[in-house]
């Protein structure tokens, strides 16, 4: 079961989903107000409601693979309903996107506040800037950015309210103090050049969650499954096969 990141849609998984579908049943979910998923402003107000919405339609005992915001939602779902999820894969995801006392490796608060402010002024430009930030530092920035833009265009534009709530989830969610409660097998994939989710967080993660399997993909930024698909897929398949 695969969950995409903020502002994107399930088409971002096209290549990896096609390969996984050769041996597994693959479920792709668009987050609320993204892609083809409807938006209900009365229902999807916080991270718990987003996680519960995904749990309601996800197959039981699946392996969840979440990228960025989708990883945060997946982590919350695993903490809410651990017996429902078999394994968890977090791709450039983090317990807290903002830097704070319990999680020192994150974005500065004013960076995310600026995105929230700009979102309501020009949402398309803000989303484009966010895509650019995701590939920042990568040697393959241009082709990865082109792929992200192409995948984004495959579905209707995301709902503006959904984009706002998604950024607020990233702004206010801090699961660092709950991370030790995660009991199911879990794999974390970092990008060496990721500027959104710095690789230095792996050190803190290993301390808070000794059972975590952590890998840093060299030269990758925030979307390693697109820039380095063979390496990401190999790590994923090894984790899936492990009993």
Residues known to be catalytic: 68, 194, 222
Give the Cα-Cα-Cα angle 215, 216, 220 (nearest 5 degrees): 140
Strands, E, within the chain: which ranges? 2-3, 28-29, 62-67, 85-91, 186-191, 213-217
Q: How far apart are CA 117 and CA 146, in angstroms?
A: 26
All residues at 6 or more sequence positions from 165 whose CB lies less than 8 Å from its CB, including other chains: 32, 33, 44, 45, 46, 50
Terminal-residue alpha carbon distance, the chain: 18
Strands, E, within 139-242: which ranges? 186-191, 213-217
């Amino acid at each position: 079961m695969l969950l995409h990141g903020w502002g994107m849609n399930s088409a971002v998984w096209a290549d990896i989903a096609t390969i996984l579908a050769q041996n597994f049943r693959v479920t792709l979910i668009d987050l609320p107000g993204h892609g083809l998923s409807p938006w209900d402003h009365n229902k999807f107000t916080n991270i718990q409601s987003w996680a519960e919405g995904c749990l309601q339609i996800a197959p039981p005992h699946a392996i969840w693979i979440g990228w960025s915001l989708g990883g945060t939602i997946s982590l919350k779902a695993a903490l809410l309903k651990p017996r429902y999820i078999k394994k968890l894969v977090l791709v450039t995801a983090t317990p807290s996107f903002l830097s704070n006392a319990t999680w020192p490796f994150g974005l500065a608060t004013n960076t995310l506040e600026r995105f929230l402010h700009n979102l309501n002024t020009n949402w398309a430009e803000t989303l484009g800037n966010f895509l650019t930030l995701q590939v920042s530092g990568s040697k393959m920035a241009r082709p990865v950015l082109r792929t992200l833009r192409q995948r984004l265009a495959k579905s209707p534009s995301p709902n503006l309210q959904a984009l706002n709530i998604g950024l607020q989830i990233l702004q206010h969610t801090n699961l660092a103090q709950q991370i030790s409660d995660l009991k199911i097998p879990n794999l974390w994939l970092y990008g060496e050049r990721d500027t959104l989710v710095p690789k230095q967080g792996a050190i803190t993660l290993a301390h808070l969650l000794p059972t975590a399997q952590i890998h840093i993909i060299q030269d990758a930024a925030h979307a390693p499954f697109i820039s380095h698909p063979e390496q990401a897929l190999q790590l994923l398949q090894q984790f899936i096969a492990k009993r």
